[in-house]
Amino acid sequence: MIEFLDVSKTFKIAKREVHAVRNVSLTVNKGDIFGVIGFSGAGKSTLLRLVNLLEAPTSGMVKINDTDLASLSAKDLRQLRRRIGMIFQNFNLFSSRTVAGNVAYPLKLEGVPKAEIERRTAELLEFVGLSDKAKNFPEQLSGGQKQRVGIARALATNPEILICDEATSALDPETTADILKLLKRVNKELGITVLLITHEMNVITTICNRVAVMENGEVIELGDVLDVFTKPEHPTTQRFIESVNKDLPSAELLKEWHAAGDKHIYQVTYTGGATNQPLLSQVTQKYDVHFNIVYGSVREIQGNLLGNLVLSFKGDQDKVSKAIQELQAIVDIKEVILDES
């Protein structure tokens, strides 16, 4: 649906060349919620703007539904932009227009008849849950409500693609969750392909099915969210994952436990089906070993459970080793080594 073929974008700022995007190749498939994550300055914002040619690539090709964007005339490009909705971190609503006026704007550009505009506007405000705010002006709305208006406006022309520029970065966690739910509905109920950029790993794990990690203009890791989340290869990716999933307690705490007699501390990680059976208690009972969960989390990504538990085993050294050996066949388990430094 959206294809980047070896795309680069270079800006000339005060005679210095800035490589915002370098040799990026990736494909967003129809029906995806594709997330691009990166720290600020990674080039993700520029990458997003290449999709509707708000920025033109310096080299390489961007294709939408097999059409090379560079081949479009100014008029065809405007037509194409109407098939691509866009929402923004700062909402970018028209302060001089009401909520309904904002949503109606793209339809007015298309010259849709007035009665049809009214019908469609009401329908969209209903979809985003803001029917009662139609006559309000943006300045009277909260951040979350403004973003809903932004989404309704972006959907007005029945786009196939919605691109989101840090759409939740200006919102509090609760409002972020609401907006992400809404984006998921946009994807599932309306069948719209979503491409979003963010610096929050939480956004990726909550709604995306595929992810690209960007750094210094390059895509450094790309794949299904679950794969990238469970087996991150690049240190930057690992840092992002740690931001939502701190997998071990602090070294101080571990030392304290060790000193207090917790000698067998292990980290268990597992995904998906393995969680359906009472594995831990079965195995530990068999060897007469006790365990205590000292730290951990279980999260859901793309309908899969992803568990990370830190366990302290108590019992005979020999029996603990045997129990660990048996568990190793079913889940990932490794001893937590104390950092002596």
Residues in contact with another protein by CB under 8 A are 52, 54, 74, 78-82, 84, 86, 88, 90, 92-97, 105-106, 108-110, 137, 153, 157
CB of 73 to another protein, least distance (A): 12
CB of 192 to another protein, least distance (A): 15
Name 162's bridge partners. Answer: 85, 194
Cα separation, 38 vs 200, whole angstroms: 8
Residue 62, judged by CB atoms within 10 A of its CB (0-12, 13-18, 19+), counts as buried
CB of 59 to another protein, least distance (A): 21
Where do the H-state alpha helices sit in the chain? 44-51, 74-81, 99-110, 114-128, 143-155, 173-190, 201-207, 225-230, 235-244, 251-259, 279-286, 317-328
Instruction: Give whichever of 4 and 91 is closer to another protein, judged by the CB atom.
Output: 91
Instruction: Give whichever of 39 and 137 is closer to another protein, judged by the CB atom.
Output: 137
Pairing of strands 161-165, 84-88: parallel
CB of 177 to another protein, least distance (A): 24
Cα separation, 80 vs 160, whole angstroms: 10
CB of 54 to another protein, least distance (A): 6
CB of 56 to another protein, least distance (A): 13
Q: Would you state the structure tokens that stand for residue 335, as one six-digit string?
A: 């001893």
Instruction: Give whichever of 179 and 228 is closer to another protein, judged by the CB atom.
Output: 179
Instruction: Give whichever of 155 and 324 is closer to another protein, judged by the CB atom.
Output: 155
> In Å, how far are 1, 7, 29 from 161, measured between CA atoms?
9, 20, 11
- Sign of the Cα torsion 100, 103, 109, 115 reads negative
Which position has the token pair 């999933």?
245
CB of 106 to another protein, least distance (A): 4
Q: Would you state the structure tokens that stand for residue 312, as one six-digit string?
A: 């302290």
Instruction: Give whichever of 81 and 133 is closer to another protein, judged by the CB atom.
Output: 81
Pairing of strands 264-271, 290-301: unpaired
Instruction: Give whichever of 54 and 70 is closer to another protein, judged by the CB atom.
Output: 54
CB of 181 to another protein, least distance (A): 23
Instruction: Give whichever of 16 and 339 is closer to another protein, judged by the CB atom.
Output: 16
Instruction: Give whichever of 65 and 90 is closer to another protein, judged by the CB atom.
Output: 90
Helix (H/G/I), strand (E/B), else coil: 307: strand
Cα separation, 35 vs 11, whole angstroms: 24
